[in-house]
Amino acid sequence: MTLKPAVRQSRAVFWITAIAFGSVIVATVFLANDMRNLKALVRHYHLDWFDPKPAPAPLPSEKTKGRVPSRQQLLRLLGPESKVGGGFLRVWPVSGPALCEKMNQTGVSNDGWKMSDFDAATFECSSETSVGTQGDVASFGSFFVIVRGDPSGRISLLRIKVVIPPSPDGEVLRERLRTVFDAAMEQTAWSDLSNASAAIGKLETVNEGGFGATLTFNREFSNPNSYNLALAVQPKTAGQRRTADYFNADRWFALAPGFASN
């Protein structure tokens, strides 16, 4: 009869008991004081056992699906024009020489489109007539018109100064004023400004404009028989100035001879 199996069983029970007892001691050491020792060991070996996990992103609710754009978003789309954009700008569709010739055809004779006596960069044509006796308010009248622009023929200003006395000659001058204005409107086809013809014929004050153009007609304070009309195109907004600069041919590079001939 042998006793070896009993010895083996006793050794197994010993080691199981020892391991269990050792595990209890190790667990007590690491879990004591709010697991301070265990956390120190984890930090020493750069483990992320105790790092908080990021919370998952919330799923979109049914209310946020298919949301209609807010009023602020719509206003952002329909807001002010871009700071680098252009603007609508009116241009004279007729050249200076053509308008001067048109005035000749309507009976307002002028000296033709030529360089100004005071500025080589300015070209113009003008016409001036007078009636009655100088200094006599009841009879003296005058009519002066000038079309001004640059050497290329681009017009910048149409200006009329007229003195209309209360006489038959004054009525002729009034009709000449309206004739020149109507001729300019016929050449430009600016229908929004041509409606002022009736008011000008009645010698009523006019202040109109749009897209860079300005039309004014008013009576002088110093002389009740004297009137001034001015029609000019001048960029007023930053967008209009950018448009004028972009389409200003003087700022472009000249085409090579081969391209210019095609």
User: Tens of pLDDT along 17-49?
Assistant: 777 767 767 666 666 666 666 667 666 666 565
- Whether 4 shows a pLDDT value over 60: the answer reads no
pTM, whole model, 2 decimals? 0.60
User: Tens of pLDDT along 195-208?
Assistant: 899 999 999 999 99
Helices in the chain by DSSP H: which ranges?
A: 4-44, 71-77, 96-105, 168-188, 191-194, 197-201, 238-246, 257-260
> What are the phi and psi torsion angles at 153 (to 5°)?
100, 0
Q: How far apart are CA 162 and CA 178, in angstroms?
A: 11
| Average pLDDT of the residues in 94-105 | 94
Q: SS3 breakdown of the chain: % helix, strand, coil, rounded to 5?
A: 40, 20, 40
